[in-house]
Amino acid sequence: MTKHEQVYLWLKSMIETNKFTEDTRLPTEEELAKQFGMNRMNIRKAMSALVDEGVIVRIRRKGTFLSNTYSKKENFFYNLNRIVSFESMIKERHMKSSYRVCENRVIEAPPQVLKELVLPDNSMVIKIYRIVSADGKPAFLEKSYFPYPEFKMLLDRDFNQPNIFSTVMESLGTGLACASQVLIAGLLDSGEKIDLQYDRFTEIPCMRQQNIICDEEQVPVFAFHATFPGDRFRFVVSSDGYKPDMV
């Protein structure tokens, strides 16, 4: 573990255990450098990571404070520079996760899935649809698509558990090497509103995530789609620098 990661985890722990609250000024870089016996560069890097995630905010001439958005426990921050599982996010918030399988059956592959998995027309796939909850409240929806009959063993598996990927790797006898990811902004449809327990007459913005998971030979193994409601998730991405286009 690097030095800045040590500071990052300590700060995150202090925040999650309410040692720092929304109205509390966090220690300065100088104070933390003295506390940890590190140079300020490591401290700055740790705090910048938390700023990128929307956890803390810097206010000029006042100091660094806990973000008022992050202090609301129902909000989750999905950092695209540091992608972690939902289970990890839940543990960081000291909440309890649960997974409910709504579908685990063979269907004709939707056109989008045919394209993602490079399958011929009229191919069949296994669709696994789950509602993922935090402290008993639905948080987001996920749908996974696996070629059939290659993955027919998944029809008998219990997916009311956190990590669907470990089951797939076990079935493959190999690792999952890489993934492509596409994010699409939109609105929840009527079925999604019901599953996420929203009023069906209210327009709810969402982010749809479409992943293609590949094996070590770069061959698509399965497609993973997730729908995140906009009032419960924040997507964060940061850049090391900005260089304007030259005209």
pLDDT band at 244 (very low <50, low <70, confident <90, very high): very low
Q: Identity (one letter) of the amino acid at 149?
A: P
pLDDT top residue among 121 and 232: 121
What pLDDT is stored for residue 247 in this prediction?
Answer: 36
Which range of 24-33, 141-150, 157-166 scores highest in mean pLDDT? It is 141-150
What's the per-residue H, E or C state across 136-197? CEEEEEEEEEEECCCCHHHHHCCCCCCCHHHHHHHHHCCCEEEEEEEEEEEECCHHHHHHCC
What pLDDT is stored for residue 193 in this prediction?
Answer: 96
Rounded Cα gap, residues 20 and 193, in angstroms = 35
pLDDT(55) > 90: no
In sequence order, the β-bridge partners of residue 214 are 178, 220
What is the average pLDDT across 88-94?
Answer: 71
Rounded Cα gap, residues 227 and 210, in angstroms = 9
pLDDT top residue among 88 and 75: 88
pLDDT(130) > 90: yes
What pLDDT is stored for residue 110 in this prediction?
Answer: 96
What pLDDT is stored for residue 243 in this prediction?
Answer: 45
Please state at what angle helix 40-52 crosses helix 3-16, rounded to 10 degrees: 50
Is the whole-model pTM more than 0.85? no
pLDDT(49) > 90: no
pLDDT(242) > 70: no
What is the average pLDDT across 136-157?
Answer: 93
Q: What angle do CA 184, 187, 188 make, to 5 degrees?
A: 110
What is the average pLDDT across 140-155?
Answer: 94
Please state at what angle helix 29-36 crosses helix 3-16, rounded to 10 degrees: 110
Is residue 85 a contact partner of residue 163, using CB atoms and an 8 Å limit?
A: yes
Give alpha helix (H) positions in the chain.
Answer: 3-16, 29-36, 40-52, 86-92, 111-117, 164-172, 190-195
Tell me whether residue 87 is exposed, middle or buried, using C-beta atoms within 10 angstroms of its C-beta: 0 to 12, 13 to 18, 19 or more.
middle
Q: Sign of the CA dihedral 88, 90, 96, 101? A: negative
pLDDT band at 127 (very low <50, low <70, confident <90, very high): very high
pLDDT band at 14 (very low <50, low <70, confident <90, very high): confident
Q: How far is CA 153 from CA 99, 171, 196, 207, in A?
A: 20, 8, 29, 31
